[in-house]
């Protein structure tokens, strides 16, 4: 009954298999763009200083410490703190932050670009993040990450509306998205506490602009699109969000900046059985939209105004509460689900070495040279990169997975700096018995460094609480942000909106810097802020054949040998059952 359904906008969609991965890639060291080159810095980034966070209390302190500039260029040696601060505030991203306060949200715990987000009493998961600039090989940190413990509640269907539209009132939407107006324009509102999560990693190239902008804005754009289209399937809305982000980035400065993206949305839904869905069930909203569409074609039901409400009530009574994980990715950052100890990949590596992507690029008028698009970009899908948008699409690969509390243990989201030197299954094996998600994320970053990864490293681990999941799943009366809950009442705002409102108020009072700045939790130099908003169609297609993981060819180091199998091999496909086997739409 349970499974995974996957699709890719623009040109591909296929099913991930347990312990599977995209087509083999070249062994050439893979930077996102030719501009990312190894640093000549002789200082070692070893593991010496990664054991404890280095908090920064003020933007002045952050400006005077080791940091990257908003355009991705390294800081000049010998500059004073005042000069560094002045230079940072003059970057395109910082200037945008003065107009759109969503970009001025200060970094939260674990350098969270979305702001300060902490688990609440309803939370059934814990997030851990660790990152490292990899100082031996990189002059700047171009990765950004974001997460929310109280992502947008699951909205009720727009009863009586068109399937794609929505009639759900949105509170103070325009002020939140644009950042216009003062904090006093909107009265203080309570936040909706949910058990829905948002997790994202953005790996920038040609500077930090696109990655930082997406870290601050993508979740806000996604929330607005979900509110506008409550009846549409989430994979379609993820595709719309990515294309909207691309449209916004095209209007902003630094059009050569881009980033790969891997995002996951974990939410509760009341779902009904569906033979048309690969997972065996679907959320009430799209089911109701489908029923309304069929009813509109029937002459006998067209005159009944009560039909939508009656259909909704009928579906609600037959629904079962389930935990659902939605993912979307462009580029080569990966999302891995640990299911009963097996690595299940929920993303696709969009690289120049991939046969399907190579054909798409060629058909679009480009060429693959040295496994790079037009000899420049190593990834074939990304956000930004406006100068070659005709070739490097922003349509994501998407999946929908029903979480099984008894089997699913944790999620790993990491940039390619980890996956270049570590297989999916080895990553799962390394951290499966590490209950603390922060310690687990740090272990994977340290493992990648010990295996001589040459890229920036960012790793996020979402550890699922089995007992809490079962309790929420079996108790439909518990208020966890699902449509109909007492929690999801009008007049309250989402956590993302609350964070932006708080930032607006502090800026209006003169008590907050107009730039979100924080040091890396690993003390290796991460910081700036980011920026803005945008819409398109969802065109799922199918990829023939299984996804295969490329072998990792690298010499075993003494440190890695103690924690990993003696030999790095291609992960063999896991034995799957009807319940656990991924399925494609």
pLDDT exceeds 50 at position 114: yes
Task: Name the pTM for this structure.
Answer: 0.71
> In angstroms, rounded to a whole number, what is the distance separating the alpha carbons of residues 263 and 270?
22
* Of residues 159 and 575, more confidently modeled: 159
Residue 46 confidence (pLDDT) above 60: no
Phi-psi region at 42: left, alpha or beta (left = phi > 0; alpha = psi -120 to 50): alpha
Q: What's the pLDDT at 470?
A: 87
pLDDT surpasses 90 at 408: yes
Token reading at 24: 């083999």
Asked if 400 and 279 touch (Cβ cutoff 8 Å), the reply is yes
Q: pLDDT > 70: what percent of the chain?
A: 57
Are 404 and 339 in contact by the 8 Å Cβ rule? The answer is: yes
Which of 103-107, 223-227, 562-566 has the highest average model confidence (pLDDT)? Answer: 223-227
pLDDT at 278: 76
Q: Distance (Å, rounded) from C-alpha 377 to C-alpha 30? A: 9
Three-state DSSP class for residue 302: coil
Contact status, residue 355 vs residue 23, Cβ threshold 8 Å: yes
In the DSSP assignment, the letter for residue 76 is: P
Q: Would the CA dihedral through 202, 203, 206, 212 be positive or negative?
A: positive
Strand locations in 183-308, DSSP E? 197-205, 258-273, 281-283
Q: Give the chain's mean pLDDT.
A: 71
CATH of domain 4-31+109-442+460-504+549-563: 3.60.40.10
Chain CA centroid to CA 282, Å? 22
Q: How far apart are CA 335 and CA 358, in angstroms?
A: 22
If 0-12 CB within 10 Å is exposed, 13-18 middle and 19+ buried, where does residue 478 land? middle
Query: Residue 144: which H helix or E strand, with range?
Result: strand 143-148
Residue 544's CB: how many other CB atoms inside 10 A? 6
Say which DSSP state 6 is in: E
Q: How far is CA 153 from CA 178, 357, 427, 499, in A?
A: 21, 35, 32, 16
Residue 434 has pLDDT above 80, yes or no: yes
**Average pLDDT of 456-472?**
92
What lies within 8 Å, CB to CB, of 5 at 6+ separation is 15, 235, 277, 278, 279, 399, 400, 401, 582, 583, 584, 585
Distance from C-alpha of 133 to C-alpha of 142, rounded to nearest angstrom: 8
Instruction: Give 458-504 as a DSSP string.
Output: EEEEEEE-HHHHHHHHH-TTS-SS-TT-SSS-TT-B-HHHHHHHHHH
So where are the chain's domains? 4-31+109-442+460-504+549-563
Confidence label for 529 from pLDDT (cuts 50, 70 and 90): very low
Going from the C-alpha of 454 to that of each of 45, 122, 335, 353, the distances in angstroms are 12, 40, 20, 19
């Amino acid at each position: 009954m349970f499974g995974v359904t996957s699709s890719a906008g623009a040109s591909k969609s296929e099913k991930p298999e347990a312990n599977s991965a995209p087509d083999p890639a070249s062994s050439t060291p893979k930077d996102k763009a030719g501009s990312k080159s190894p640093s000549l810095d002789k200082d070692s980034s070893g593991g010496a200083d990664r054991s404890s966070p280095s908090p920064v209390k003020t933007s002045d302190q952050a400006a005077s410490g080791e940091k990257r500039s908003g355009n991705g260029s390294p800081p000049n040696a010998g500059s004073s703190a005042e000069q560094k601060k002045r230079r940072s505030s003059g970057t395109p991203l910082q200037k945008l932050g003065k107009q759109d306060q969503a970009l001025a949200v200060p970094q939260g715990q674990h350098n969270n670009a979305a702001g300060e987000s902490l688990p609440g009493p309803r939370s059934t998961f814990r997030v851990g993040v660790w990152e490292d600039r990899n100082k031996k090989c990189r002059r700047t940190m171009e990765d950004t990450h974001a997460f929310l413990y109280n992502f947008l509640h699951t909205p009720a269907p727009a009863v009586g509306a068109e399937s794609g539209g929505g009639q759900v009132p949105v509170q103070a939407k325009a002020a939140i998205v644009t950042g216009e107006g003062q904090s006093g324009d909107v009265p203080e509102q309570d936040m909706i506490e949910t058990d829905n999560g948002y997790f994202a990693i953005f790996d920038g190239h040609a500077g930090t602009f696109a990655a930082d902008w997406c870290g601050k804005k993508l979740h806000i754009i996604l929330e607005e699109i979900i509110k506008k289209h409550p009846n549409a399937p989430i994979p379609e809305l993820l595709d719309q969000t990515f294309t909207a982000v691309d449209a916004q980035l095209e209007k902003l400065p630094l059009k050569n900046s881009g980033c790969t993206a891997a995002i996951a949305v974990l939410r509760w839904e009341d779902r009904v059985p569906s033979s048309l869905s690969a997972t065996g069930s679907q959320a009430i909203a799209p089911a109701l939209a489908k029923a309304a569409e069929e009813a509109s074609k029937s002459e006998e039901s067209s005159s009944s105004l009560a039909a939508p409400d009656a259909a909704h009530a009928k579906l609600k009574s037959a629904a079962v509460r389930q935990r659902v994980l939605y993912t979307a990715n462009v580029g080569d950052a990966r999302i891995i689900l640990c299911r009963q100890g097996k690595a299940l990949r929920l993303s696709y590596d969009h690289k120049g070495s991939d046969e399907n992507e190579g054909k798409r690029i060629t058909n679009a008028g480009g060429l693959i040279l040295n496994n790079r698009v037009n000899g420049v970009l190593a990834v074939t899908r990304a956000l930004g990169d406006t100068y070659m948008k005709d070739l490097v699409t922003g349509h994501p690969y998407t999946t929908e997975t029903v979480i099984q509390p008894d089997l699913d243990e944790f999620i790993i989201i990491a940039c390619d700096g980890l996956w270049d030197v570590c297989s999916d299954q080895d990553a799962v094996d390394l951290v499966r018995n590490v209950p603390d998600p922060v310690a687990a994320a740090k272990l994977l970053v340290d493992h990648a460094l010990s295996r001589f990864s040459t890229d920036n490293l960012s790793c996020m681990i979402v550890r699922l609480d089995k007992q809490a999941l079962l309790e929420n799943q079996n108790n439909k009366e518990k208020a966890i942000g699902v449509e109909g809950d007492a929690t999801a009442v009008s007049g309250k705002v989402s956590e993302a909106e609350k964070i932006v409102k708080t930032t607006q108020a502090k800026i209006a009072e003169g008590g907050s810097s107009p730039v979100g700045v924080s040091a890396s939790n690993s003390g290796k130099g991460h910081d700036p802020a980011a920026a803005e908003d945008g819409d398109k169609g969802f065109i799922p297609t199918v990829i023939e054949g299984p996804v295969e993981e490329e072998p990792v060819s690298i010499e075993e180091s003494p440190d890695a040998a103690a924690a990993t199998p003696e030999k790095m091999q291609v992960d063999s496909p896991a034995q799957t059952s009807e319940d656990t086997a991924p399925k494609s739409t």
